[in-house]
Amino acid sequence: MVTINTTLGISWTVLSFGFFVICRYLVQPLTFIRHSPKTHRTKSNPYFQTCFTCADDHQWERLNLLISWLHSLITGVAVIYSFWAYSPDIYQDFVNHITLVTYLTCALSYGYFWYDLFDIISNRRGSEMLELLLHHILTIIFFSFNIFRVLNIGYQMFALIAEINSIFLHARKLFQLYHIPRDNVFVRLNMFLNILTFFLCRLCMLFFVTIFVYHDRYRVGDINYIYVMYILLPGVWIMNPILFYRVLRTDFLKRYKSKKLLS
């Protein structure tokens, strides 16, 4: 019987970081598929040069998105399984719920976000890096409260429902980077699944998490409650609707307007 404690969480986080580093080198050959020399873009010098720094900006975007998509796929499947297998226990107590699968899923994502943070710092600079850094730092702080205290794992799993949408959100960007035509049947299908899961797994999830955390405000812990309700959730409530509008506008509204003008 495996004991679920902080040591297990830290160990699994380190293993997760190493797992995604290995995956980085395994999927690297995929970044050269449909790669045109015309798309080569020399990277502006990042603030920190590391072993993760890529010389070609276009290749790094593909590599980063492939790893992000892999993380979303693994986490999304684990989240769906957990909410099916541990129902109704996980719904009844998001604060004290914990199983080996749910705790390790949270630690896996925790390790990924540390990996991706390191990757971004090694390859980005300027406003785009700051936007990604803000998202990752907010997420890492939230994960840290839960992983180290071995508490609120149900809430963290609830937040990871967003990774179901990330499967399609990252696939959308990958289709663009690999120059797959927009009229491709898989691209069109992904567009609809992306906007549907964005609404259900991000916006609806945010709505219910806000209500549930407020309801459990005396149980989640004072510091955790203040951080989530006054820093994390307001930040995510600002970022997600903006991203939703950008995707909706690019994939649907612009296409509808152009068809209307042609008709």
pLDDT recorded at residue 38: 57
Nearest to 11 by CA among 101, 154, 114, 111: 111
pLDDT recorded at residue 46: 80
Half-sphere exposure of 188 (CA within 13 A, CB side): 6
pLDDT recorded at residue 255: 67
Nearest to 156 by CA among 19, 16, 23, 9: 9
Which tokens in the block code for residue 49? 């040069």
Long-range contacts at 169-176 (CB < 8 A, ≥ 24 apart): 169/72, 169/194, 169/198, 169/247, 170/65, 170/68, 170/69, 170/72, 171/69, 172/247, 172/251, 173/65, 174/62, 174/65, 174/66, 174/69
Domain ranges of the chain: 6-24+59-261
Beta bridge partner(s), residue 56: 42
pLDDT recorded at residue 260: 52
pTM assigned to the model: 0.92
- Residue 76 · residue 164 · CB < 8 Å: yes
pLDDT recorded at residue 48: 80
Per-10-residue mean pLDDT of the chain, 263 residues long, equals: 93 98 95 68 72 88 96 98 94 95 98 96 80 90 96 96 97 94 94 97 96 95 94 94 93 67 49
pLDDT recorded at residue 51: 87
Residue 45 backbone dihedrals phi, psi, to 5 degrees? -60, 120
pLDDT recorded at residue 40: 55
Rounded (10°) angle between helices 204-215 and 233-248? 170
